[in-house]
Amino acid sequence: MYMTILFVIIVSIMVLYQRWKEGNWVNLISVFMGPYIPLVFLNNFFVYKNGFDKINDDVLVMILTSFIVFFSGSLLFKVKKNSTNKEEDNVSKLSRYDFKKMRTFLIFIGLIGIVKIIILYLQGSFSSNIDDVEGVMGGGAIGHLLLASYSLLPIYFMYWTYNRKLTILMPIILIMIVTFSSFVKYNIIGLFVSFFLFLALYRKSVLKRSLLILVSFVGVVFYVNYAISFVVVGNDMTTQFILNHFWMYIAGSLIYDNYIFLYGIRPGIGVFYKLGTFIFALPNMFLEKTFDFKLFPHVRQEDLSISDFGETSNVVDAIGYLYPSKCDVLEVIIFYVILFILGALMAYIYKKHMKSSKYYDVFIVNFLCYFVFFSFFGTFYINSAPWEILIYSIFIPKLFIKNEIKN
pLDDT by 10s per residue, the chain, length 407: 899 999 999 999 999 999 999 988 899 999 999 999 999 999 999 999 999 999 999 999 999 999 999 999 999 998 877 656 778 889 999 999 999 999 999 999 999 988 888 887 787 766 544 444 445 555 678 889 999 999 999 999 999 989 989 899 899 989 988 887 766 777 888 988 999 999 989 988 877 777 777 778 777 777 776 676 666 555 566 778 888 888 998 999 999 999 988 877 777 788 899 999 999 999 998 898 888 889 999 888 889 999 999 899 999 999 999 998 777 899 999 999 999 999 999 999 999 998 878 899 999 999 999 999 999 998 888 889 999 999 999 999 999 999 865 55
CA atoms within 13 A on the CB side of 192: 20
Say how far apart CA 103 and CA 244 lie, in whole Å.
40
Q: What is the pLDDT of residue 129?
A: 46
Q: What is the reported pLDDT for 262?
A: 82
Query: Which long-range CB contacts under 8 A does 168-175 form with residues at least 24 apart?
Result: 168/99, 168/103, 170/107, 171/103, 171/106, 171/107, 171/110, 172/106, 173/110, 174/106, 174/107, 174/109, 174/110, 174/111, 174/113, 174/114, 175/106, 175/109, 175/110, 175/113, 175/146, 175/149
Task: Tell me the β-bridge partners of 401.
Answer: 97
State whether residue 250 is helix, strand or coil: helix
DSSP letter for 370, please. I
Mind giving me the DSSP string for 177-202? HHHHTTT-HHHHHHHHHHHHHHHHHH
Domain count, the chain: 1
Supply the range of the domain harboring residue 261: 2-406
User: For 56, which DSSP code?
Assistant: P
Task: Tell me the Ramachandran region of residue 90: left when phi exceeds 0, alpha when psi lies from -120 to 50, beta otherwise.
Answer: alpha
> Rounded CA gap, 124 and 203, in Å?
43
Distance CA 401, CA 114 (A): 27
Q: Which amino acid is at 8?
A: V
